[in-house]
Chain A
Amino acid sequence: AQSVAQPEDQVNVAEGNPLTVKCTYSVSGNPYLFWYVQYPNRGLQFLLKYITGDNLVKGSYGFEAEFNKSQTSFHLKKPSALVSDSALYFCAVTSLGYQKVTFGTGTKLQVIP
Chain B
Amino acid sequence: DTAVSQTPKYLVTQMGNDKSIKCEQNLGHDTMYWYKQDSKKFLKIMFSYNNKELIINETVPNRFSPKSPDKAHLNLHINSLELGDSAVYFCASSPIGENTEAFFGQGTRLTVV
- The answer to whether the Cβ of B62 comes within 8 Å of any Cβ in the partner chain is no
Cα–Cα, bound, A95→B99 (Å): 8
**Contacts A49-B101, A51-B99: A44 and B56 contacting too (C-beta < 8 A)?**
no
Count of chain B residues with a beta carbon within 8 Å of a chain A beta carbon: 22
Cross-chain contact B98 with A95 (CB below 8 angstroms)? yes
Closest beta carbon of chain B to A72's beta carbon, Å: 18
Chain B nearest CB from A47 CB (Å) reads 9
Does any Cβ of B come within 8 Å of A96's Cβ?
Answer: yes
Judged by a CB distance under 8 angstroms, whether A25 is at the interface is no
Partner of B98, one of A42, A46, A97, A106: A97
Q: Check: A101 CB closer than 8 A to any chain B CB.
A: yes
Give min CB distance, A49 to chain B, whole Å. 6
Q: How far is the CA of A100 from the CA of B101 in the complex (A)?
A: 12
* B38-54 contact mask (Cβ, 8 Å, vs A): 1 or 0: 00111111001000000
Interface residue ranges of A88-113 to B (CB < 8 Å): 88, 90, 94-101, 103, 105-106
| B105 contact set on A, CB distance < 8 A | 43
Please tell me if the beta carbons of A46 and B103 are within 8 angstroms of each other in the complex.
yes
Binding site for B on A (CB under 8 A): 32, 34, 36, 38, 41-46, 49, 51, 88, 90, 94-101, 103, 105-106
Task: Give 26 CB contacts A-B under 8 Å.
Answer: A36-B104, A41-B106, A43-B90, A43-B104, A43-B105, A43-B107, A44-B92, A44-B102, A44-B104, A45-B104, A46-B101, A49-B101, A88-B41, A94-B98, A96-B98, A96-B99, A98-B98, A99-B48, A99-B55, A99-B56, A100-B45, A100-B48, A101-B98, A103-B42, A105-B41, A105-B42
Which 10 residue pairs are nearest across A and B when measured between Cβ atoms? A43-B104, A46-B101, A103-B43, A44-B104, A51-B99, A32-B99, A94-B98, A43-B106, A106-B41, A43-B105
